Structure 1
């Protein structure tokens, strides 16, 4: 409580002013409310009114926590994420889309190929690999021939990611396949390490 800056700030407020804050809790932040309760307790002791306010705050906090947990569970269900330790760890559709957009479709294809390895989809891996290579080459050729900007290339990459996640994933893994979420950090580091030399080569090779 000593770290609450509102305690010192509210010391000169009257009881009525502090009670007004508690009556209008929605207009004040959590620290301001806590400081008001703290000061009123110091002045008047623990009154039934303050106990009632504290109970209301506790119940509201619990309701928010329950709502937050429910939202997280609904999001997991929507994305077919499970906590089942027997379910395979896969890179999510969102991660594949982001990698495809930021780096290129072939990077998203590699992540999807990893997923297919985890789910024993050998034929799917081959098709995704071929698609990733061909789509990336076509994107580079079109961008260079037409001399179009990076924004158009980004659109091509995102479209490629969409094909990977909405066609190949749904066809070979299954739209509602339950899986655990795999970390994206290691693939991100590898992708950056691969991309930086290519960018430098493109800049200094001109």
Structure 2
């Protein structure tokens, strides 16, 4: 409770002002309400009114936690995420789409190839590799030859990510395949380290 910055700030408030905060607790943040309860307890002891407020706050927190857990479960179910330790760890469709859009389709293809390695889809890995390379080359040729802006390249990349996740994933892994969610941090670091020299080369090579 000593870390609550509102305790010192509210010390000058009257009981009536603190009680007003509790009566309108939905309009104040949790720390302000907790500080009001703490100060009133120090001044007047634990009253039935304060016990009632604390009970209401506890019930509200439990409701929020139940709602949060329900949302998480629904999200996992929608995205075929499981907590089964025997299920393989895969990069999600969302991560593949983001990497394809931010970097290029070949980066998303590499992530999907990893997934296919985890699910023993050798044929799928080869097809995804070929698609990723060809699609990236075609994108670069079209963008450079037509001298169009980066927004068009982004659209190409997102479209490539869509093909990876909605065609290749569904065909070789399965649309409803249950898996654990793999961290995207390491691939992100590697992708940035690869991309930065390419960007610098493009800038200073002009």
Structure 1 length as normaliser, TM-score?
A: 0.95
Q: Give the CA deviation at 1:5.
A: 2.4
Per-residue CA deviations over 1:25-81 (Å, capped at 9, x if unaligned) read: 101111111111112112211111111111111111111112111111111111111
CA distance, structure 2, for counterparts of residue 105 and residue 180 of structure 1: 23
Query: What is the deviation of 1:195?
Result: 1.6
After TM superposition, which residue ranges in structure 1, 4 or more long, deviate above 4 angstroms?
A: none
Alpha-carbon distance between aligned partners in 2 of 1:79 and 1:185, rounded to the nearest angstrom: 19
In the alignment, what sits opposite 2:198?
A: 198
Gap regions ≥5 residues in structure 2: none
Secondary structure at the counterpart of residue 77 of structure 2: helix
Q: Which residue of 2 aligns with 1:92?
A: 92
Residues in 2 aligned to 1:77 and 1:162: alpha-carbon distance in whole angstroms = 21
Q: Deviations over 1:143-194 (max 9, x none)?
A: 0011011111011001100110011101111111000111112211221222
Distance 2:203 2:10 in 1: 59
Alpha-carbon shift at residue 11 of structure 1 (Å): 2.3
Distance 1:189 1:78 in 2: 28
* Cα RMSD, aligned residues only: 1.2
The offset of 1:123, in angstroms, is 1.3
What is the Cα deviation at residue 2 of structure 1?
2.2
Report the Cα distance in structure 1 between the residues aligned to 2:4 and 2:203, rounded to whole angstroms: 52
Hey, what's the Cα distance between the residues in 2 that align with 1:43 and 1:190? Answer: 57
Aligned equivalents of 2:158 and 2:164: distance in 1? 10
- What is the TM-score when the length of structure 2 is the normalising length? 0.95
CA distance in 2, matches of 1:120, 1:196: 33
| Alignment length (residue pairs) | 206
